[in-house]
Chains A and B, each alone.
Chain A
């Protein structure tokens, strides 16, 4: 680009700085650990499942979610683009999988039950 005007340059720098700040902030402060996944369809809770058990969950008759080795991912979707199947698996570090066409959102969560959270602690004591 040729010489940008001064305030235009400043505007761009602030914009880029802000975007990266939000990005870093979300990476560092809003990542949480999770041991369960919550599946919602159209805003309503479909179910909460533990990441500890390997299982295959049919979500309605449109999508299928699999939990394996502590990670959850979508293994089937009836829409043509299959974007939800390419998204990062939900593991201990949390995450979100979204299927826009079928309005399904899967989020990693921390279950409120302490015993379910740390069964090994219980076993030691």
Chain B
């Protein structure tokens, strides 16, 4: 029974992550700063990490990156997404495992490390460390987007699994 629910969640949240990725490509949320997005798709990934474990979250994350990448992006956008997702998922899994931090805090750490991962891979691809001028902006935007996604996941989780 538990396995069926997990399978359904995997499919449902992968689909949701892909839709979120598409919706987000339509509306530039933080239009003031080019290139900064809320990362709605990470809502699904974070939820999987929260409910299940690293394995399930990684699966949803990889599926969504590949599908969104092939539909709307290119090889490089897939590479950037993979780098950000790999670093943030690793860090979030470690924090979840070794501390009793709430999903809200975990999400903030994920937001920051996601941006750092993307910046590092961008510096590597462009072969220019001048990109590091974006680090402070990306740090702050990571905290803000991470907090928003964390709040959303907390609320979604409360509604799917109401505290009895």
- A-side residues, CB < 8 A to B, are 1, 4-5, 8, 11-12, 15-16, 19-20, 22-23, 25-27, 30, 40, 42-44, 83, 86-87, 96, 98, 100-101, 103-105, 107
Tell whether A23 pairs with B34 under 8 Å between CB atoms, given A4-B102, A12-B108: no
Which residues of B are found within 8 Å of A43, using beta-carbon distances? 126-128
- Which chain B residues numbered 114 to 145 have a C-beta less than 8 Å away from chain A? 122, 125-128, 130-131, 133-137, 139-140, 143
For chain B, the count of residues having a C-beta within 8 Å of the partner chain is 31
Tell whether A105 pairs with B143 under 8 Å between CB atoms, given A1-B104, A12-B105: no
A5–B134 Cα distance when bound, in Å, is: 32
Shortest distance from the beta carbon of A9 to any chain B beta carbon, whole Å: 9
A28–B143 Cα distance when bound, in Å, is: 21
Tell whether A83 pairs with B126 under 8 Å between CB atoms, given A19-B136, A22-B135, A100-B76: no
Tell whether A16 pairs with B143 under 8 Å between CB atoms, given A5-B100, A11-B101: yes
Which residues of A are found within 8 Å of B99, using beta-carbon distances? 8
A23 touches B131 (CB 8 A): no
Shortest distance from the beta carbon of A40 to any chain B beta carbon, whole Å: 6
A8 touches B140 (CB 8 A): no
A-B contact count (CB 8 A): 81
A20 touches B127 (CB 8 A): no
A25–B74 Cα distance when bound, in Å, is: 35
Closest A residue to B118 using CB positions: A100
A23 touches B102 (CB 8 A): no
A105 touches B34 (CB 8 A): no
Interface secondary structure of B, over-half rule: helix
Shortest distance from the beta carbon of A25 to any chain B beta carbon, whole Å: 8
Q: Is B162 an interface residue (CB 8 A)?
A: no
B136 touches A101 (CB 8 A): no
B136 touches A23 (CB 8 A): yes
A86–B104 Cα distance when bound, in Å, is: 32
Which residues of A are found within 8 Å of B112, using beta-carbon distances? 15, 19
A20 touches B140 (CB 8 A): yes
Closest A residue to B151 using CB positions: A1
A27–B163 Cα distance when bound, in Å, is: 45
B140 touches A87 (CB 8 A): no
Given contacts A23-B139, A107-B130, 5 further A-B contacts (CB under 8 A): A8-B99, A11-B101, A42-B126, A83-B34, A101-B76
Question: Which residue of B35, B76, B139 is within 8 Å of A83 (Cβ)?
Answer: B35
**23 residue pairs bridging A and B, Cβ less than 8 Å apart:** A1-B102, A1-B151, A4-B104, A4-B105, A8-B100, A8-B101, A11-B101, A12-B105, A12-B108, A15-B109, A23-B136, A25-B136, A26-B135, A30-B133, A40-B128, A43-B128, A87-B34, A96-B131, A98-B130, A100-B80, A100-B122, A100-B126, A104-B126
